[in-house]
């Protein structure tokens, strides 16, 4: 196990203690147009009495607020994933997948529910070919298997013999790639594309034609070749931002234009060089694209492509019921850990959904609101992904509401006034160094005992200091600022 991969049950690898906020519902965000308004974001209340809460406010839906005439094109509730960890991901600098690892990844992606996985071309190497054949023999339950080839008959002949359900063909169409990579002109490209497509189709499997570097290609070249391949019955055309140069508006424009030109499906592929890969995938779906390429953790050439988890996060906000109906979301973390371990990286701290602080709330104002209703500061519900919400309390920004939750969890009998007083001490101490969870618990227990024995009264800061010194002599140790051991788990 990669030492950097966060532990499954505890994202910090440190002790976590649950605070019971089970009476707090996750009030959903705006109701998407066209739904009946029940839990539209998929956030589930936990069935505990929530009567003391007012009903979710009637808020304008995302679509009501930002609706445009062109939204009729949108496929944000009707799209498929082409998971390319085993192709694009294999192009990641650190990637070297054994067959065993590839099989594990393929099986997990199948269980997760991706519609397709894409494998490295069998023409790449003898092992790649053997791996492709072996994965085709696995008998995956719902995921179709594609392999990704150059626009070349030799590659196509090899591909159709591996047992794949379909072939993704690509060729560079920008002048950069035409002049400096393969050296072919558009006439050659078109002629060869037709030959390859007709050959693959004749084998009764799916075929996609994609132009590498689409956003630096001539629009007229692109539209002309896409129209041609659409006419001869390609299943999908693909748009690829190979260098990660496109912004979401360019993506929207190109895909919308293409939507008007071809009748087949539209696949999209976005590199993340400038941080737009998820937004661009979303813009593509809004403009009528039907398929998005992803890889686990976004691994791929350079800094990779649209990450699977990031796309899921984005799409959960657009249509949670749809996403939840298609994918086994709690598996996401497991798949990411598997891939992270295989390519010897850690899951980034700020990773979508599974990053160790993705559902951690710190500032007192946030903690208070989260404890009242998690929707105040969360657009995604961690429970949908088998994740846990945390409130961090041993720091100088803490607030008495978060401390109160901990007091209740520890079953201590303290009034609000006493909790506020104890909180003041925690903040005072945390101004010197962040307090660990154990420190906070000790302070609260000592405070509690002091109050109930009569040794301490509210406001007696100096008396409390003495009690703390007596019972926590080692408290003056080295600073633990940024220690992760200071968070409280909040049950959903």
| Residue pair 355/380 in contact by the 8 Å Cβ criterion | no
Stretch that binds ligand HCA, among 122-130, 235-243, 331-339, 481-489 (CB under 6 A): 235-243
Which one, 88 or 384, has the nearer CB to Cu ion? 88
Active site residue 366: yes
Size of the residue set binding ligand HCA (CB under 6 A): 13
318 Ramachandran zone, left/alpha/beta (phi>0; psi -120 to 50): alpha
Decide: is 269 part of the binding site for ligand HCA (CB under 6 A). Answer: yes
Q: Is 489 helix (H, G, I), strand (E, B) or coil?
A: strand
Q: Mask of contacts with ligand HCA, 30-69, x by CB under 6 A?
A: ----------------------------------------
Residue 410: how many other CB atoms lie within 10 Å: 15
Stretch that binds ligand HCA, among 19-27, 70-78, 190-198, 236-244 (CB under 6 A): 236-244
7 Ramachandran zone, left/alpha/beta (phi>0; psi -120 to 50): beta
Which one, 122 or 300, has the nearer CB to Cu ion? 300
Chain centroid, CA 223 distance in Å = 32
Beta strand segments in 86-226, E: 116-119, 144-150, 166-172, 206-212
Q: Restricting to residues 335-394, which ones interact with Cu ion according to CB under 5 A?
A: none
Give bridge partners of residue 116 from the DSSP assignment: 82, 144
| Among residues 27, 124, 149, 170, the one that binds ligand HCA under rule CB under 6 A | 170
Residue 51: how many other CB atoms lie within 10 Å: 6
Beta strand segments in 335-393, E: 360-361, 389-392
Q: How far is the CB of 84 from Cu ion (least distance, A)?
A: 8
Stretch that binds ligand HCA, among 46-54, 136-144, 238-246, 392-400 (CB under 6 A): 238-246
Decide: is 212 part of the binding site for ligand HCA (CB under 6 A). Answer: yes
| Catalytic pick among 26, 271, 291, 366 | 366
Q: Restricting to residues 62-101, which ones interact with Cu ion according to CB under 5 A?
A: 88
Decide: is 88 part of the binding site for ligand HCA (CB under 6 A). Answer: yes
| Among residues 210, 290, 392, 398, the one that binds ligand HCA under rule CB under 6 A | 210
Decide: is 198 part of the binding site for ligand HCA (CB under 6 A). Answer: no
Task: State the Cα–Cα distance between residues 19 and 371, nearest whole angstrom.
Answer: 9
CA max distance for the chain: 92
55 burial (CB, 10 Å; 0-12 / 13-18 / 19+) is: exposed
Chain centroid, CA 214 distance in Å = 25
Decide: is 319 part of the binding site for ligand HCA (CB under 6 A). Answer: no
Q: How far is the CB of 184 from ligand HCA (least distance, A)?
A: 16
Stretch that binds ligand HCA, among 18-26, 234-242, 354-362, 366-374 (CB under 6 A): 234-242
Size of the residue set binding Cu ion (CB under 5 A): 1
Alpha helices in 232-390 (DSSP H): 248-259, 277-286, 308-318, 320-326, 331-342, 364-372
Task: State the Cα–Cα distance between residues 190 and 460, nearest whole angstrom.
Answer: 84
Partner in contact with 90, chosen from ligand HCA, Cu ion, none, beta carbon below 5 to 8 Å by kind: none
Can you count the helices (H) and strands (E) in the chain? 17, 12
Stretch that binds ligand HCA, among 39-47, 98-106, 237-245, 388-396 (CB under 6 A): 237-245
Q: How far is the CB of 67 from Cu ion (least distance, A)?
A: 33
Residue 67: how many other CB atoms lie within 10 Å: 12
What token pair was written down for 42?
Answer: 């998929």
Given the rule CB under 6 A, which residues bind ligand HCA? Answer: 88, 91, 148, 168, 170, 210, 212, 238, 240, 242, 269, 271, 301
Given the rule CB under 5 A, which residues bind Cu ion? Answer: 88
Q: Which residues are catalytic?
A: 366
């Amino acid at each position: 196990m990669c030492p950097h991969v966060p532990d499954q049950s505890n994202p910090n690898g440190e002790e976590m203690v649950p605070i019971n906020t089970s009476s707090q519902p996750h009030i959903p965000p705006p109701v998407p147009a066209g739904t009946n308004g029940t839990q539209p974001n998929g956030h589930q209340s936990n069935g505990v009495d929530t009567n003391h809460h007012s009903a979710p406010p009637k808020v304008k839906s995302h679509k009501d607020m930002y609706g445009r005439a062109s939204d009729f094109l949108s496929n944000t509730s009707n799209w498929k994933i082409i998971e390319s960890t085993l192709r694009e991901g294999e192009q990641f600098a650190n990637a070297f997948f054994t067959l065993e690892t590839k099989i594990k990844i393929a099986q997990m992606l199948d269980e997760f529910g991706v519609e397709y996985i894409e494998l490295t071309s069998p023409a790449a190497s003898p092992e790649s070919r053997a791996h492709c054949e072996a994965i085709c023999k696995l008998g995956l339950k719902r995921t179709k298997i594609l392999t990704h080839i150059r626009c070349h008959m030799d590659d196509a002949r090899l591909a159709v013999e591996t047992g794949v359900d379909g072939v993704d063909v690509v060729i560079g169409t920008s002048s950069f790639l035409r002049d400096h990579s393969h050296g072919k002109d558009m006439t050659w490209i078109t002629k060869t594309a037709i030959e390859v497509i007709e050959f693959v189709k004749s084998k009764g499997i799916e075929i996609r034609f994609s132009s590498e570097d689409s956003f630096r290609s001539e629009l007229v070249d692109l539209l002309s070749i896409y129209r041609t391949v659409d006419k001869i019955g390609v299943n999908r055309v693909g748009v690829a931002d190979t260098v990660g140069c496109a912004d979401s508006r360019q993506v929207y424009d190109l895909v919308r234009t293409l939507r008007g030109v071809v009748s087949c499906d539209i696949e999209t592929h976005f590199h993340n060089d400038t941080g737009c890969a998820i937004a661009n995938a979303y813009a593509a779906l809004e403009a009528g694209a039907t398929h998005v390429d992803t890889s686990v953790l976004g691994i791929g050439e350079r800094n990779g492509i649209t990450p699977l988890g990031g796309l899921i996060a984005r799409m959960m906000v657009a249509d949670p019921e749809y996403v939840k109906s298609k994918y086994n979301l709690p598996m996401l973390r497991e798949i990411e850990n598997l891939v992270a371990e295989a390519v010897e990286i850690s899951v980034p701290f700020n990773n979508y959904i599974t990053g160790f602080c993705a559902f951690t709330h710190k500032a007192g104002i946030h903690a208070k609101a989260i404890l009242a209703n998690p929707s105040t500061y969360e657009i995604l519900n961690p429970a949908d992904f088998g994740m846990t919400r945390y409130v961090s309390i041993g720091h100088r920004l803490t607030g008495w509401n978060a401390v109160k939750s901990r007091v209740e969890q520890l079953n201590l009998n303290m009034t609000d006034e006493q909790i506020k007083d104890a909180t003041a001490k925690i903040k005072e101490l945390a101004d010197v160094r962040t307090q660990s969870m154990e420190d906070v618990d000790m302070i609260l227990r000592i405070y509690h005992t002091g109050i109930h024995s009569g040794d301490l009264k509210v406001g007696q800061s100096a008396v409390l200091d003495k009690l703390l010194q007596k019972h926590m002599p080692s408290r003056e140790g080295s600073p633990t600022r940024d220690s992760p051991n200071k968070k409280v788990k909040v049950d959903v």
